[in-house]
Structure 1
Amino acid sequence: MITRTAAARATALAGAVVVLVAGLSACGASAGDDTDPDHRSFGLQGRTLTVDSDDSALEIVAAENPAGKVEVTRWFQGSVAIGKHPKATWSLRDDRLVLRLKCSGIVVDCAARHRIEVPRGVTVKVRVGDGSVRARGFHDSLNIRTGDGSVRVTDTTGPVELRTDDGSIRVSDTTGPLRLRTGDGSIRADVSSRDVRTHTGDGSVRLELGVVPDRVESRSGDGSVTIAVPRAGYRVTTETGDGGVEVSVPRDDSSAHVVSARTGDGKVTVRTAN
């Protein structure tokens, strides 16, 4: 038999659950739900920009902004059960744009998405603690590093260096030199770059090149490596600790076009692009 005290406690607990659920429904938001995002404009004095973010998804775009003008839009992406709306801080000092987001109260998820429009002709570096990064349209040097999150880059002509400790990397429509590295995740690139270097600790690699490269070097600790290149003679080096090797491109040990593919565990394929 349930005592009156126990019944009262059960009723109170049920009421608290209802309040919590109602709070989640009322206060939870996403980029799609946030119809009134925050926006800021910053003046950039030089020709370089470093983006420093702690916990946000970033979309970085080379835009036809007036010289020295950086536009930033922020959407809240998360859920707050009880507490105030997240507090965002923005600052641009010298060439460093710092983005921070602080949530208080009972927080289910505290995150945001930022779109950053950068004037053309600016060299961009990105440092993110936890969050994915997308970038497109850059003709100058682009350097991105994130601790935990995927990286996607498209439509670039300058040098590109991408690194994530935990996440996949995807690159397309790029012609500049590439340096791609992930600790745990796959790498995919469909590019027309003449110099490509990739490394993954645990994940597969698939490279499709639209032009005859000068050098391609790809390494994986654990995963298959596939490299497709236009028909030409190549100086090819392959190595696998546990897996097959298939090379179907013309081989020429005196060629200036070098392809190197190595994996600790997985198949290595070097073939002619379709």
Structure 2
Amino acid sequence: MARTVSAPVSARAATIAGAVVVVVAGVTGCGAAAGDDQEPERQSFPLQGSTLTIDSDDSALELIATDANPKGRIQVTRWFEGSVVLGEDPKVTWAMDGDRLVLRLKCSGFVADCSAKHRIEVPRGVAVDVKDGDGSVRARGFEDALNIRTGDGSVRVNDTTGAVKVHTGDGSVHVDAATGPLDLRTQDGSIRADVTSRQVRTHTADGSTHLELGAVPDLVDTRSGDGSVTVSVPRATYRVSTDTGDGAVQVSVPRDDSSRHVVSARTGDGKVTVRTAN
């Protein structure tokens, strides 16, 4: 559903507009909000196999594992708001190609302002692989593998039992109530996890890391280029290694170099803390 604003202009008006395009676009280019769409569209798509790939270029995504959908089908709800003063009408498309759901947003021209959001309901027992160019991702309830890659957007994952892998270029990562192995990476953003996973690997180039482990882990390997690192673990004996280029190190858990429970915490610039959870 496209909402377009357009108006003819004279040659003189077009010349004046061209002189101020940078200023106008900078002021009005971020007002559209997909949540303002009061009439979202819904579509059901067939799914072949036990893996769903979501290929999105510019949309916020909400992924939900559910028992409500029939096996072999996914349900997609789409919200969209957009306007272009001069240029082609904004357009959103969705299509299913085998096991790949392709979501596209076309919005370009003079003072182009568009926003899209998709909620994707997936039958339980399906692994999901997400590739989102620009947009936040929220996912909950998955029992199978969840792989999320986004170029620019925050990622939040809740209530999962399968393996979770998150790689984002620019955005924070937050995981709650997960039990499966975690691999969390961001170039520019913080990482936070409150989980009972027994294997946790994290890496951020620029941002803090805070891990709360509710079960004794087999392995925690966390690294930050620039930011503090905090690891809270249940009372047990751990093989701990730490390193910081510029900052304090505080380790208050029982240590044993022969322990099978390994915690490695490193940062280039920031404090490192490994402590027993309260």
What TM bracket, shorter-length normalisation? 0.7 to 0.9
Q: 1:124 aligns with which of 111, 121, 128?
A: 128
Please say if residues 34 and 115 of structure 2, whose CA atoms lie closer than 8 Å, have aligned partners that are also in contact: no
Task: Please name the residue that 1:45 is paired with.
Answer: 48
Cα deviations by residue, 1:65-89 (Å, 9 ceiling, x for unpaired): 1001111111114444456653221
| Greater CA drift, 76-85 or 53-62 | 76-85
| Greater CA drift, 89-98 or 104-113 | 104-113
Q: Displacement of 1:254 after TM fit?
A: 1.0
Q: 1:90 aligns with which of 89, 94, 99?
A: 94
For 1:206 and 1:77, the matched residues in 2 are separated by: 36
Task: Please name the residue that 1:247 is paired with.
Answer: 251
For 2:72 and 2:192, the matched residues in 1 are separated by: 33
Please say if residues 53 and 128 of structure 1, whose CA atoms lie closer than 8 Å, have aligned partners that are also in contact: yes
Task: Please name the residue that 2:78 is paired with.
Answer: 74
Please say if residues 83 and 90 of structure 2, whose CA atoms lie closer than 8 Å, have aligned partners that are also in contact: no
Paired AA for residue 73 in structure 1: T
Is 2:244 aligned against 1:263? Answer: no
Partner-residue secondary structure (3-state), 2:188: coil
Q: Displacement of 1:252 after TM fit?
A: 1.1
Task: Please name the residue that 2:57 is paired with.
Answer: 54
Please say if residues 61 and 137 of structure 1, whose CA atoms lie closer than 8 Å, have aligned partners that are also in contact: yes
For 1:213 and 1:252, the matched residues in 2 are separated by: 15
Look at both structures and tell me which one has the larger radius of gyration over its CA atoms. Answer: 1
Paired AA for residue 34 in structure 2: A
Change (3 A) 1:267 1:135: same
Change (3 A) 1:217 1:58: same
Query: How many pairs are equivalent?
Result: 256
Q: Which runs of 5+ in 2 are unaligned?
A: 1-11
Please say if residues 30 and 75 of structure 1, whose CA atoms lie closer than 8 Å, have aligned partners that are also in contact: no
Task: Please name the residue that 1:4 is paired with.
Answer: none
For 1:251 and 1:130, the matched residues in 2 are separated by: 43
Q: Which runs of 5+ in 1 are unaligned?
A: 1-8
Q: Displacement of 1:91 after TM fit?
A: 1.0
Task: Please name the residue that 1:176 is paired with.
Answer: 180
TM-score by length of 1: 0.88
For 1:92 and 1:60, the matched residues in 2 are separated by: 16
Superposition CA RMSD, Å = 2.2
Cα deviations by residue, 1:6-29 (Å, 9 ceiling, x for unpaired): xxx99xx89xx9xxx9xx99xx75
Cα deviations by residue, 1:218-246 (Å, 9 ceiling, x for unpaired): 00001100000000000000000000000
Please say if residues 242 and 272 of structure 2, whose CA atoms lie closer than 8 Å, have aligned partners that are also in contact: yes
Partner-residue secondary structure (3-state), 1:32: helix
Q: 1:35 aligns with which of 35, 38, 41?
A: 38
Paired AA for residue 37 in structure 1: P
Is 2:208 aligned against 1:220? Answer: no
| Greater CA drift, 182-191 or 76-85 | 76-85
- Calculate percent identity across the aligned residue pairs: 73
TM-score by length of 2: 0.86
Task: Please name the residue that 1:63 is paired with.
Answer: 66
Is 2:167 aligned against 1:163? Answer: yes
For 1:239 and 1:77, the matched residues in 2 are separated by: 48
Cα deviations by residue, 1:6-64 (Å, 9 ceiling, x for unpaired): xxx99xx89xx9xxx9xx99xx7533321111211100011000000000110011012
For 1:77 and 1:273, the matched residues in 2 are separated by: 45
Partner-residue secondary structure (3-state), 2:235: coil
For 1:79 and 1:29, the matched residues in 2 are separated by: 8
Q: 2:236 aligns with which of 209, 222, 232?
A: 232
Change (3 A) 1:214 1:77: farther
Paired AA for residue 180 in structure 1: L
Cα deviations by residue, 1:84-140 (Å, 9 ceiling, x for unpaired): 653221111111100001135534322201101111100100001111101000000
